[in-house]
Amino acid sequence: MKKSLVLLLSLVLSISCDDQNEQKERILVDSSGNINQVTLIIENKLWEGPVGEALRDNFAATVDGLPQEEPMFSLKQIPPETFTGFVRRNRSFIKVEKANEAGVKVLNNVYARPQTGIIISGPDEEEIIRAINEGADKAVAVFKETEMKEKQRRMGKSLGKDQKLKEEFGLSLKFPSIYRYAVEEDGFIWLRKEITKGNMELLIYEVPINQIEKDTNIIGNIIKMRDSIGEAYIPGPVEGSYMITEEAYAPYLFETEIDGKFAYETRGTWEVKNAFMAGPFVNYAIKDEANNRYLIVEGFVFSPARGKRDNIFELDAILQSARIK
């Protein structure tokens, strides 16, 4: 009897260990997918109707600050029966299904790692649409965090040297080694990456706190600051031309944090005064009270007639890695 119990217990433990090992191996499978691509698992009929429209309105909304309309996420729809095998390794997915109760649920690392899944459910189309609209902000924030971490992980495989930034500004910044130092002057550093028919740029400089906070017109002060830097350091293709903030449209201004410090986040379009050149930029003015300054880290893109969402996203991933020593 005792021998039988021992054998039974051993069998149970063996099965339990096998299950745990299988679970561990399944979780550790690497996820896949392009940055900012979300797979939608939804019936074709729902995708082609009001439910699909609600999904597109919320997850393919236009990105702020780009010169042309580009979606927040690239959506790829597949019917539920095809969500098997390798397809389950997609890093970000939304699954829409009918259920008794409406709701939105976040899943992490179910089929691969890292992976974020959103389950949206409801008893009928009306309730599913309501769940989409009510839960979209949370879902978008979760996806953005997932994609940002993945982009930073990929860039981290081959980082450039930021010693010059540390010496000049006390700044640590994680940028890919393909970026090169284009300009190095006292109080101003410019890094550049060449892309097909264009460039991606990084600017780092500092200004006194009162230059941005001298009155309540924060966005106006940031524009003046950017334009003065453009005139001083960023010439255009013809004599007398230089980069400025686009005059026709005011940039978007947000409040955020970088390295635990308050920062103004500005997104908009730059142009070249007296020349036909333009593109998007993202600027973070990080308040460094210990040194009575705003440390400015900015990225901008020049890539005519091409999408720029992913370029700006890369620059954003670099800028958000800023750490002040």
pLDDT(15) > 90: no
Encode pLDDT of 168-217 as tens digits.
Answer: 999 999 999 999 999 999 999 999 999 998 999 999 999 999 999 999 99
3-class DSSP state of 4:
helix
Encode pLDDT of 30-86 as tens digits.
Answer: 999 999 999 999 999 999 999 999 999 999 999 999 999 999 999 999 999 999 999
pLDDT(154) > 80: yes
Per-residue pLDDT band for 247 (boundaries 50, 70, 90) equals: confident
Q: CB of 102 within 8 A of CB of 127?
A: yes
| Complete domains list, the chain, with CATH | 37-155 (no CATH), 163-324 (3.40.1000.10)
Q: CB of 55 within 8 A of CB of 132?
A: yes
Q: Rounded to two decimals, what is the model's pTM?
A: 0.88
Encode pLDDT of 267-277 as tens digits.
Answer: 999 999 888 89
The structure tokens listed for 184 are 């190095």
Burial class of residue 4 in the structure, from the number of CB atoms within 10 Å of its CB (0-12 exposed, 13-18 middle, 19+ buried): exposed
Tell me what percent of the residues of the chain surpass a pLDDT of 90.
84
Encode pLDDT of 220-238 as tens digits.
Answer: 999 999 999 999 999 988 8
Instruction: Indicate the average pLDDT of the chain.
Output: 91
How much is the pLDDT for 29?
Answer: 87
Per-residue pLDDT band for 305 (boundaries 50, 70, 90) equals: confident
Per-residue pLDDT band for 9 (boundaries 50, 70, 90) equals: very low
Amino acid at 189: I
d(CA 299, CA 295): 14
